[in-house]
């Protein structure tokens, strides 16, 4: 199902998450990822929630929006390193520098996916042929 990028990665006032601190479990459920995944993103420096104790992290609206971007990019096949580079650029130079780089990264991923699909279709054709040669009906 197609969802516009603006809905995958809401920004500013468009973001509809309650403006209150969120705990890691809430976000894991909301984004369909594990607690470990979110902790990994924190370890990699992609997100930096506020710690209120050794075991408790609180995520504000900006953290949630950032996590939304990370999850959307990972879902569409961008590497963690590529996402880290994009976020570092956005943090350093702002959204004007970030958006063209994000667009380029997504276009590159789309090209990779198209090549992967073409290769998979080729292999599928070969398998169909082999099965036919072996007398297997589809």
Contact 129, 117 (CB under 8 A): no
Task: State the Cα–Cα distance between residues 8 and 71, nearest whole angstrom.
Answer: 9
Contact 19, 9 (CB under 8 A): no
**Buried b or exposed e, range 3-26, using 16+ CB within 10 angstroms:** eeeeeebbeeeeeebeeebbebee
Q: What is the pLDDT of residue 108?
A: 96
Q: What is the pTM of this model?
A: 0.78
Q: What is the pLDDT of residue 11?
A: 46
Classified as helix, coil or strand, 57 is strand
CB half-sphere exposure, 66, CA atoms < 13 A: 21
- Give the β-pairing of 50-51 and 57-58: antiparallel
Where exactly are the structural domains of the chain? Answer: 5-110
CATH of domain 5-110: 1.10.1660.10
Q: What is the pLDDT of residue 86?
A: 96
Contact 61, 11 (CB under 8 A): no
One pLDDT digit (tens) per residue for the chain, 138 residues: 545 555 555 444 334 567 788 999 999 999 999 999 999 999 999 999 998 888 888 999 999 999 999 999 999 999 999 999 999 999 999 989 999 999 999 999 999 999 999 999 999 999 999 999 999 876
């Amino acid at each position: 199902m197609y969802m516009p990028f603006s809905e995958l990665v809401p920004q500013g006032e468009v973001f509809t998450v309650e403006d209150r601190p969120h705990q890691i479990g809430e976000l894991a459920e909301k984004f369909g990822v594990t607690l470990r995944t979110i902790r990994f993103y924190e370890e990699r420096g992609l997100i930096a929630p506020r710690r209120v104790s050794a075991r408790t992290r609180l995520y504000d609206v900006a953290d949630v929006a950032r996590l939304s971007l990370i999850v959307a990019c990972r879902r569409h096949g961008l590497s963690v390193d590529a996402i880290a580079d994009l976020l570092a650029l956005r943090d350093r130079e702002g959204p004007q520098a970030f958006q063209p780089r994000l667009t380029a990264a997504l276009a590159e991923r789309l090209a990779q996916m198209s090549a992967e699909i073409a290769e998979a279709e080729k292999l599928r054709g070969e398998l169909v042929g082999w099965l036919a040669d072996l007398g297997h009906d589809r």
